[in-house]
Amino acid sequence: MSAPKKGDLSPSEKELFEVITGGNVQEASRLLGCKDVRVNCLDEYGMTPLMHAAYKGKADMCKLLLQHGANVNCNQHEHGYTALMFAGLSGKTDITAMMLDAGAETDVVNSVGRTAAQMAAFVGQHDCVTVINNFFSRARLDYYTRAQGLEKEPKLPPKLAGPLHKVIMSTNLNPVKMVLLVKENPLLAEAEALDKCRRVMELICEKCIKQQDMNEVLAMKMHYISCVLHKCVAFLRDREDKLDGLIKCLLKGRDTDGFPVFQEKFIRESIRKFPYCDATLLQQLVRSIAPVEIGNDPTALSVLTQAITGQVGFMDTEFCTSCGEKGAEKRCSICKVVIYCDQTCQKLHWFTHKKVCKKLQAQREKHEAEVAKLRQQQNKENANAVQEATESMEGLSVKTNSEGTESEKANCVPITAAGN
Ligand SMILES: [Zn+2]
Ligand SMILES: [Zn+2]
């Protein structure tokens, strides 16, 4: 069958585009089995079925099309949009990840010079931006699971690639979360294995800086992960309480306000230890963090997270106080100030939170009382204002009506004239 040309569609292909819009996966599957249907056919704008499915946010349809050999990097769209750009525009993180897994190039630009991440950011789809900026293919990691050149054994034992990839792909950079990810996998939570992972992270960091299209963001992320892993190794080797001890150190709040000083200092130090001093990103981060007194906003974690994941509004209240996961909803029943994913996260934090919980409760109650008082005052003022306005309106009512009609007429004339 000939190479697809824009708008040159067989009747079945036209039907396929319609079925994709409707979302009937079964029918699409049947059509893709027809002889006169090419999975990479192009509509009049140069859009493939995959681009349509991605744009419409239909994950099952995307999956089906990829299974049938849809080209994720087709670049025939009239404005140079790719399937990844359409996925980003749709705001669907699962589809965005699917395109990346299928090998979508992240640095291709459209006709106005924007990458998929920039397009997604432009329309406010920040979760998709995060997914794109943090993507690191398993294939790139698997490279280290094969002995290279004269090596007798690979730098990364193959069994570690899976769990390590999970850590790399995490968009939550809270060190507690990372240590929890390490701890949950017995293969990783072992000093020697973890030290190998740490070295691979450093090698990838170096590669990100030295490759032709330098990626400082990914380099910083890899460096930061290597720092967290390094700390894990140290605690596994030297401490009786191993990784639990590290989690405790990271969560321990200072007496005055419960601010986790160790965690803040650890993240600041990790950033400062980035081995490539000339990196623009490093300088930006240091400039943002250095003037901030420890305990004030922004925290090093929020600055780092914003730089690496593009996540904005990080200080919102929906993040778990322990592990930083998004969407936490369980509130401490006493102070009602801090929130957690679940009881596990709350238990992790209690040893230090209990010292400030009552204080936070008092603060909140005081604040709420003030707000209530202010609102009462405002309501009273509003009521007075309404009454005054009503009184003056009543005095003007006759005049207002006639004037209103006049101005309505005045408005109508020019518009009608322009229409004619
Ligand atoms: Zn949590
Ligand atoms: Zn509390």
Average pLDDT, the chain: 90
d(CA 37, CA 14): 9
**Which pLDDT belongs to residue 107?**
83
d(CA 82, CA 105): 9
DSSP E strands, 272-351:
330-331, 339-340
* 3-state secondary structure (DSSP) of residue 319: strand
d(CA 41, CA 48): 6
Tell me how far CA of residue 46 lies from CA of 83, 111, 113, 224, in angstroms.
11, 13, 18, 41
**Which pLDDT belongs to residue 395?**
64
**Which ligand lies nearest the alpha carbon of 350?**
2
d(CA 68, CA 365): 60
Give backbone dihedrals phi and psi of 15, rounded to 5 degrees, phi first. -65, -40
Entry field: residues in the chain: 420
**How many Å lie between the centroid of ligand 2 and the Cα of residue 327?**
18
Give backbone dihedrals phi and psi of 385, rounded to 5 degrees, phi first. -65, -40
Residue 368: pLDDT above 80? yes
**How many Å lie between the centroid of ligand 1 and the Cα of residue 322?**
5
Nearest to 16, CA basis, from 99, 3, 47, 2: 47
User: pTM for this structure?
Assistant: 0.75
CB of 264 closer than 8 Å to CB of 300:
yes
Task: Give 220-265 pLDDT, tens digit per residue.
Answer: 999 999 999 999 999 999 999 999 999 999 999 999 889 999 999 9
**How many Å lie between the centroid of ligand 2 and the Cα of residue 358?**
7
Percent of the chain with pLDDT over 90: 76
Copy the structure tokens of residue 169: 């792909």
Residue 342: pLDDT above 90? yes
**Which pLDDT belongs to residue 402?**
44
**DSSP conformational letter for 254:** P
**How many Å lie between the centroid of ligand 1 and the Cα of residue 328?**
7
Nearest to 146, CA basis, from 133, 132, 131, 161: 161
**Which ligand lies nearest the alpha carbon of 345?**
1
**How many Å lie between the centroid of ligand 2 and the Cα of residue 252?**
14
Give backbone dihedrals phi and psi of 339, rounded to 5 degrees, phi first. -125, 155
CB of 49 closer than 8 Å to CB of 16:
yes
**Which pLDDT belongs to residue 414?**
39
Residue 26: pLDDT above 60? yes
**DSSP conformational letter for 279:** -
**Which pLDDT belongs to residue 313?**
56
Tell me how far CA of residue 340 lies from CA of 111, 114, 312, 318, in angstroms.
44, 38, 20, 9
**How many Å lie between the centroid of ligand 2 and the Cα of residue 361?**
7
**How many Å lie between the centroid of ligand 2 and the Cα of residue 354?**
7
d(CA 135, CA 102): 12
**Which pLDDT belongs to residue 163?**
95
Grade residue 127 by pLDDT with cuts at 50, 70 and 90.
confident
**DSSP conformational letter for 173:** -
- Asked if the peptide bond before residue 298 counts as cis, ω within 30 degrees of 0, the response is yes
CB of 352 closer than 8 Å to CB of 253:
yes
Q: Taking the CA atoms of 347, 353, 358 and 361 in sequence, report the sign of the dihedral they define.
A: negative
Task: Give 165-224 pLDDT, tens digit per residue.
Answer: 999 988 899 999 999 999 999 999 999 999 999 999 999 999 999 987 788 989 999 999
Query: What single-letter amino acid sits at 320?
Result: C
**Which ligand lies nearest the alpha carbon of 355?**
2
**Which ligand lies nearest the alpha carbon of 340?**
1
Which domains are seen in the chain, by residue range?
Answer: 11-133 (1.25.40.20), 140-315 (no CATH)
Q: What is the mean pLDDT of residues 150-172?
A: 94
Tell me the CB-side half-sphere exposure of residue 331, using CA atoms within 13 A.
9
**Which ligand lies nearest the alpha carbon of 356?**
2
CB of 87 closer than 8 Å to CB of 117:
no
**How many Å lie between the centroid of ligand 2 and the Cα of residue 360?**
7
Stated as kind and residue range, the H or E segment containing 339 is: strand 339-340
**Which pLDDT belongs to residue 348?**
96
Task: Give 28-55 pLDDT, tens digit per residue.
Answer: 999 999 999 999 999 999 999 999 999 9
**Which ligand lies nearest the alpha carbon of 321?**
1
107 versus 246: the higher-pLDDT residue is 246
Q: What is the mean pLDDT of residues 325-342?
A: 93
**How many Å lie between the centroid of ligand 2 and the Cα of residue 336?**
6
Grade residue 403 by pLDDT with cuts at 50, 70 and 90.
very low
Taking residue 63's Cβ as centre, other Cβ atoms within 10 Å add up to: 17
Q: What is the mean pLDDT of residues 68-93?
A: 96
Residue 272: pLDDT above 50? yes
**Which pLDDT belongs to residue 409?**
42
Tell me the CB-side half-sphere exposure of residue 138, using CA atoms within 13 A.
12
Q: What is the mean pLDDT of residues 75-101?
A: 95
**How many Å lie between the centroid of ligand 1 and the Cα of residue 342?**
6
Question: What residues does the ion ligand 1 have nearby, CB within 5 Å?
Answer: 320, 322-323, 325, 341, 345
Helical axes 126-133 vs 93-101, angle rounded to 10° = 20
Residue 416: pLDDT above 70? no
**How many Å lie between the centroid of ligand 2 and the Cα of residue 154?**
48
**Which pLDDT belongs to residue 182?**
97
**Which pLDDT belongs to residue 314?**
52
Q: What is the mean pLDDT of residues 95-114?
A: 93
Nearest to 88, CA basis, from 80, 96, 78: 96
Query: What single-letter amino acid sits at 292?
Result: V
**How many Å lie between the centroid of ligand 2 and the Cα of residue 104?**
45
Alpha carbon 287 to chain centroid, angstroms: 23
Q: What is the mean pLDDT of residues 127-143?
A: 88
Q: What is the mean pLDDT of residues 382-395?
A: 78
Q: What is the mean pLDDT of residues 57-83?
A: 96
Torsion from C-alpha of 207, 276, 219, 279, nearest 10 degrees: -120
**How many Å lie between the centroid of ligand 1 and the Cα of residue 344?**
8
**Which pLDDT belongs to residue 396?**
61
**Which pLDDT belongs to residue 133?**
80
